[in-house]
Amino acid sequence: MQIILLFLLLCFSPAVWAMGHLPTQMSSDPLIGKPAPDAVLIKTDGTSSSIMSSRQGKKAILIFWATWCPHCYEELGAVNENIASVGKKGIKIILVDLGETLEVVKNYFDQRQMHLTSFIDVDSFLQGTYHLEGIPTIIFIDEKGIIRNVTHAFPSDYVQYFK
């Protein structure tokens, strides 16, 4: 047990252990101002597509999450409540579950009676590509596909992150 704990402490930054106390805005993120990386993944609706093509040329809020994450539980509740109003502002919400199977995510949505669609990154490939230090991580991508900001909580004024 001590070896596992030591391994975890060495492999993960302190930010991962303090997810509840992370600053909401991570303006020093190395991806800000750069094109958002893309990948083709399966989705909970059974189809597969590229993450960036699902933006359909619109601004997007890309949310990395997992079913075991208590903060993600709260954030997905906010997403579920706000998805229609966000869409009316021309912004797509794109969910990406990290490290879990399609079945686990579908069961999670069914149990919570959520009608959301999520990409499934079973191998957590995008964790390295996006330099993720913890979840939830919320990335704001403009209509040109450029990352404008990175946060760890769904803000009440999400439009400000696109300015």
* β-bridge mates for residue 150, sequence order: 139
Cα separation of 33 and 40, whole Å?
A: 22
- CATH of residue 117's domain is 3.40.30.10
**Confidence band, pLDDT 50/70/90 cuts, at residue 27:** low
Would 3 be classed as within a structural domain? no
Cα separation of 34 and 19, whole Å?
A: 25
- Its pTM stands at 0.81
pLDDT, averaged across the chain: 84
The token duo for 49 is: 């597509």
Would 20 be classed as within a structural domain? no
Q: What's the number of domains the chain is made of?
A: 1
Cα separation of 135 and 156, whole Å?
A: 18
Would 136 be classed as within a structural domain? yes
Cα separation of 65 and 49, whole Å?
A: 18
Q: Which residue type sits at 142?
A: D
Whether the predicted pLDDT of 152 surpasses 90:
no
Render pLDDT for 51-107 as a digit per residue (tens, 0 to 9).
Answer: 999 999 999 999 999 999 999 998 898 889 888 998 999 999 999 999 999 999 999
User: Could you give the 3-state DSSP secondary structure of residue 103?
Assistant: helix
Percent of the chain scored above 70 by pLDDT? 83
